[in-house]
Structure 1
C-alpha cells in the first residue's frame, strides 16, 4: 500500500495515516476496498489466502498427483488456458522483496524472487520452462531437483533450511493475517490464547472490549488442558478408541499443543428494581451474547496482536455484524501514531459508506472494484480521480461518480399481480 504524492485536507491524516520507510518510500497504514456485490472484492481476499497457503504448504501439503487450487478466468476463451498470476511486494529486515509465481491447475509455470540490497533490484532466483536458476546467496544446491512440478521452489527451499526462504515463510505465516468477517468465530481461540498466556495482550484486549461499549464487565475463560493431559487419558483405552480420541484432541487443541477455549463466559452487572448494583450475571459468549459481541471478541485478539507486533491484517466483510461507529473506531486505531506506533497495516473490504470520509482517509486509502462488460474486475484508487479534498466521498460514491456501485433496474412492476 504505497502512499501517493498528495496532501489531505486534514493535515493530521498525513501525519498519522502514513509512515516513511526511507526517503523515497512511504506506506499507508490502512486501505478500504468498496464495490458492488459480485464485483470481485472477495476474490482479492481469496487470492491472497490461496497465495499464502500455497507458499507455506505446497512442499508438504500436496502430493505429486494433486491439482493446484487455482481457477482460470472462464469468461474469456483467451484466458481459460493461461496460468494464474500472483505477486507480493513486502519489507523484511528493512529490505524490499518481490516474490511471485504463475500456476495452472497442473503445474507451477514460473516463479521468481527479487530483493533490493541497496538501490537496484537484484534477482535471487528465477524459475521458468528452462529450469530453476538462483544466485549464490540463496544456497539451494540440489533443491531444484527435489521440487515437484506442482510445488513452489520457495516452499521446498524452506523445508530444506534455506535461510532466506525460511525467513520469508516465517514472515508470511506470522505477519500476514487474512480473515473473513463472515466466518470469524473460529478466532475466538486466538483471542482466548492471548487472554490466558499474555498479560500485555490481555490488558489491551480487555481495554478494547471495554471501550467498545459491549456491557461486559469481565471475562472468564476455562481451558481444556494441555495436549499431554488430554492424551494421558488414553492410556487405558483400547487401541481403536485411542485413534478416535486423538482425532478429537486435534480438534480441540491448537497447533502449539496448547488448549483451545472450552468455555468463554462474560460477566455483566446485575441491578435491583431501584437501579442499585447487587451482583453479577454470568453469560455464555456463544449462546447468550449477540452476533456482534461474538465477532468483536473473536477479532479483538487479532486487532491487538497486529497493532502491538506491526502485522498486516486483511479482513473481508469487515463491517458484517458491526455497528458503523465500532468499524470507524477500529480504523482509527490503525490510523494513529499513538495506538499504532509499530506501523501495522489494515486492509479491509466493506460496504460501510460511513467510513468514506475525508476525516478518516486520504484519497489513496480508498479503493474500488468494478467489473466491465466482459466480467473483468478492475481495482482502482480514489487518488486516480481529480476531486477536491473537501467533497463528500460518501455522497459522490453513492451517486456513482466513482463507479463501483450496483446499477439497479426498475423494480416497480416486479410484483405486479397482472404481469
Structure 2
C-alpha cells in the first residue's frame, strides 16, 4: 500500500508538497476504511483517497505525479535515446531552471523472491532536470528499504547525475553491471532498463509498478476507445464481470457483446426494451466513461493494486459513485487492500468519506498548488458535516467568485 507521496516542481506544484496518509494511532478502526501499510505493520492508511478543490487547482497534478512515477519505473526504457520525458516543470523562470523531485513510500516484501518473507517499507526517489529547452535527464534515482530483522534503512541502489549506479549486495547487481553501463540511458529508469536484462529484483519492482492503473495518459491520447474495446475483446472474463456489474447498478444496459468488425473488434450493447443492438458511438458519455474506468477498478481490486482515476465523478451518477467507493471498503470485493486515488468535483461525496480519506488542493495568487489533508486541519471533528463545512469555506479549496 502506498502511504506517502512527495512532489516538487511538477506542473503546477512548485514547492515541495508532502502527502502523508498515515492514520494516527488514536483513530478508531472504521470497518473497511483503513488497512496496514504492509502486512502486520502497526501503521494504517486509507484505501480510498479523494482529492477536492476548484478547477485548475492542481488536483490532477497529484494523480499525474503518481502516474508518471509508475510509468517511468515501468516503461521509460521504451523511449528513444533523445526523447523528451513526458512532463512539465512549474512554468516560471525559477521552475524551468530547477529539477523536479518525486518520491513514493509504500510496503513490499523484504525478499521479493520469497512470498512468505516479511514485508517492510520501500522508498523510491527520482530527480530529473537539466537545461531548459533540452531533453530532461535523470539527475538522481534510488530505492531504499528497511528489511527485517534490522529495520534500518538499506540502499538497494543509487544513481547519480553521471549515470553511475551503486548498489548493495541485496540488490544483486554485479552480474548485470557491464550490460547496464552499456544500455542505461539518461531518460530511462534503472528498473525498466534492468528488466530488459532479466534482473530478478528489478523485475519484482517492475511488477509492483505494473499493478498501478491510471486513466491519465502519459504518452498519447489518441485511440482511447479503440484500445478499450480491444482490451475487452482480449479478456472474456473482464466482459463477464462488466456485464454482471452494469445490470446490477442500472446503466439501462442488459449486456455488452463483442463482434468482429472490418478493422477489428466492435462493442455492441443490448438495452432494456430495445430489440436491436446499439454501437458504442451511440452510448451516453457516462456509459462510455464507465466502460473505460471499469478495467482500472477491477484490475486494482483483483490484484491489490492502485487505481488512479481523474474526474471519476464527472460522468458517473451520484448514486453509483458511492457504490464504487464501497467496492474498495468491502473486504470481499477488495481482499488485497487495493487503493483508489481520485479527483472529485461533486462535494456531496464528502458525506460518504471519513476525514483521513480527503485531500484538498488550492492555488496561491502566484499559481502554486498547495496540497493538504482534511485530517491535518485543526478542530475537524469526526462527526462534522464535511459537505456543508467545505461548501461554506471552512476548509478552503473552494472557488472564489466575485
TM-score, length-scaled by structure 2: 0.80
User: C-alpha distance in 1, partners of 2:127/2:383?
Assistant: 42
Specify whether residues 185 and 286 from structure 1 end up closer, same or farther in structure 2 by C-alpha distance, changes over 3 A only: farther
Note if 1:80 corresponds to 2:110: no
Listed as ranges, the gaps of 5+ residues in structure 2 are: 4-20, 110-118, 130-134
Q: What is residue 125 of structure 2 aligned with on the other side?
A: 100
Q: CA deviation at 1:287?
A: 2.9
Q: CA deviation at 1:144?
A: 3.4
Note if 1:186 corresponds to 2:205: no
Does the CA contact (< 8 Å) of 1:184 and 1:298 recur in 2? no
Q: CA deviation at 1:171?
A: 2.1
Alpha-carbon deviations, 1:85-134, whole Å to 9, x = none?
12122333334321121111432111111122111221111122463211
User: C-alpha distance in 1, partners of 2:70/2:302?
Assistant: 22
Q: What is residue 136 of structure 1 aligned with on the other side?
A: 169
Q: What is residue 121 of structure 1 aligned with on the other side?
A: 153
User: C-alpha distance in 2, partners of 1:120/1:298?
Assistant: 42
Specify whether residues 184 and 290 from structure 1 end up closer, same or farther in structure 2 by C-alpha distance, changes over 3 A only: farther
Specify whether residues 266 and 169 from structure 1 end up closer, same or farther in structure 2 by C-alpha distance, changes over 3 A only: same
User: C-alpha distance in 2, partners of 1:309/1:187?
Assistant: 24
1:313 is aligned, of 304, 307, 316, to 307
Q: CA deviation at 1:342?
A: 2.0
SS of structure 1 residue aligned to 2:177: coil
Q: What is residue 24 of structure 2 aligned with on the other side?
A: 5
2:259 is aligned, of 203, 207, 222, to 222
Does the CA contact (< 8 Å) of 2:67 and 2:216 recur in 1? no
The aligned length equals 356
SS of structure 1 residue aligned to 2:91: coil
User: C-alpha distance in 2, partners of 1:370/1:83?
Assistant: 23
Does the CA contact (< 8 Å) of 1:196 and 1:202 recur in 2? no
Listed as ranges, the gaps of 5+ residues in structure 1 are: 226-251, 253-259, 271-279, 410-419
Larger Rg: 1
Specify whether residues 196 and 80 from structure 1 end up closer, same or farther in structure 2 by C-alpha distance, changes over 3 A only: closer
TM-score, length-scaled by structure 1: 0.77
For structure 1, which segment, 332-341 or 307-316, has the greater mean C-alpha deviation from structure 2 after superposition? 332-341
Does the CA contact (< 8 Å) of 2:137 and 2:186 recur in 1? yes
Specify whether residues 132 and 322 from structure 1 end up closer, same or farther in structure 2 by C-alpha distance, changes over 3 A only: same
1:374 is aligned, of 350, 363, 366, to 366
Report the RMSD for the aligned CA atoms in angstroms.
Answer: 2.6
Specify whether residues 7 and 318 from structure 1 end up closer, same or farther in structure 2 by C-alpha distance, changes over 3 A only: farther
Q: CA deviation at 1:264?
A: 1.4
